[in-house]
Structure 1
Amino acid sequence: MDVSAPVTAADYALERNPNAASAPDRELAMEAPAFGMVFTDHMARATWTLEGGWGNRRVEPFADLSLHPGATVLHYSQQVFEGLKAYRWADGSTRLFRPEGNARRMAASAARLSLPPVSEDEFLASVEALLAVDGDWVPTQGESSLYLRPLLMGTEACLGVRPSHEVEYLLMACPVGAYFAGGVRPVSIWVAQGFHRAGEGGTGQAKTGGNYAGSLMPQQQAQDNGCDQVLFLDAREDKYIEELGGMNVFAVRRDGTVVTPRVTGTILEGVTRDSVIELLRAEGREVVERDIALEDLRSGIADGSVVELFACGTAAVVTPIARLVSPSFDEVVADGGPGTLTMHVRGALTDIQYGRAEDRFGWMTRVS
């Protein structure tokens, strides 16, 4: 974006949706939305060209896209995205959780996919512009929120294998409740067999659709075996745990130490992951980022030295893990119930996000 003049929400021209949902229809749609299935009335957009840079910023009615069949995103997957949430506080204000972290990660992902970066001020401006018109879609009930999905993709009609000369930035929003059906509950995890999420030098550290496309077959394998998610091992040795299909992993040891796989370029640097580490260290707990061998983790579960496992991410926040499953083993963590520290971390994070606790880390950004 134009670094000489910071972009603001006012730079986004507004075209209101003439068919916007009525208040009763909106409330009905927000009662119990499945994750990512209900969308708000508008979306924010901006267009980049090689000749002119970024421009044509607008908020327009939410609608299908028109893409040339030769668009680079359709053939070479030149695309990155993000995920963050807007929360309604009891005072009626709307807050974002660490949006600058998502902006930085999207810029890093864009660089890896040879896409033009979206600056932090542009990123925040697009969110503010969309919430200014669709703010009534931020839920108020329970621990629901408005999930925001920024998307950056190559749209030039070109079958040549090179970076796109035309790029579109979009921001859409979905009211959401619990990520897993039935709310917070311990989940079962399938350890991927013969599949890997990312390899060294690849795109594992970028939030790009291809990483997730490659996880769908093992995710289906997990579901076929009665599990909720899949855990990937490293591609080099097929030995060390890395992350789930869309979440980072933590283990709690009996001595109180918390361990999580170190980021090496094959693991997504989660904003929630970073927040969990900062929160635990602020409470005086030792958090170790290191390689974790699957067999060591299994041994720790079996002998009781590993007492809790949990996963974390924007969508699910913090989710307890009850079991690790494969064709050759079925390890139950402690008694299979949600761990004390797991639920403490989840409560501490959500209390900050919803304004029930002091934001001592300065994580929340007010947008309205």
Structure 2
Amino acid sequence: LHKFSMAAAAYLAFNVVGIAAIVFAAPFMPNVAYAAAWGVTASGVVQLGLLLWACHRAGFGLMPLPPRLTPRIKLLVRRMVPGLIGSGVGQINLTIDTIIATLLPSGSVSLMYFADRINQLPLGVLGAAAGTTLLPVLTRHLAAGDHVAARDAQNRSIDYVLLLTLPAVAGLMVLAGPIMIVLFGHGAFTEHDALLSAQALRAYALGLPAFVMVKVLSPAFFARGDTRTPVYIGIGILVFNFGLNLALMKPLLHVGPPLASSIAAFFNVVCLAFILHRRKSLELEGQTKRRIGLTIVAAGIMGGVVWLLGQGVVFPHNFWARSVWLGGMVMAGAGVYAVLLHMLGLADLARIVARLRSKLGR
């Protein structure tokens, strides 16, 4: 129905219900882990309820029907099976990384896990949003036989996600240490541990554009009814990632698996893009290439400015002072990047501010 707000907002229930369970239910449970686990289950029920309510309001009431194996259902199952396998490839890769980490020095699993939590923030927000919204748009254009519109939508999607992902990469590379110290450098997880975890975060951040691009390119296959090709590529990437893990685990320790995942993600993007290009399903326009190049320049300059600011200001010792310091650096980076986008003609700040005011006014 091209309504995305509630589908996206429903995921907030996972956080809201989960945090509420930890805060309010923990005193009545054997320990906090039980409360967190029940919070996950309860959040799933709440998410389903919110989506059913949204569907009802949109006039798309859902009512269970007796199962019938119609030709369309058979087609759905045939296309769904490869998708189910493909959706598990990423989880298997993550499991491989974790298993490899258990063979490394004690604490490596935690170092990688906390780094991955931060890396998942831009990936989950940008990658998931792009993939979710792009698929129905591409499907609609292709069903109408409008391949030019489908190509334009794909180009715009690549342009937008890189416009937002590349500054995240620059920021994470420069501020990885302060980010991990402020968020996780407490109690048993020392500042030294946080700095080690920051090394893993930088390795993950290198692959962030590739992780996001996989979510942008895959819908181009799905919209054309091809659910198999991304799966075949994903299985090959799984084997490649495993080999890289074995090669890098000894010399790079906790940085090895994240770096292997990033390299494998880039290889995944190359394979997807190559096949789409051969099928004439992916053609980057000159304007898109130019904008991507300028975005790389803007993100690089922003990262350099933030790094220089960090050299000139001492990182405080107090937690709250550190939080303010980090927030100031992030805001400074965002401001610099916004100005650069305006100067390079990549974004019209006045128009963006006007649209934001209009939305807030409504």
Task: Give me the TM-score of the superposition, normalised by structure 1.
Answer: 0.22
Structure with bigger gyration radius: 2
- Considering fraction of residues, name the structure with more strand: 1
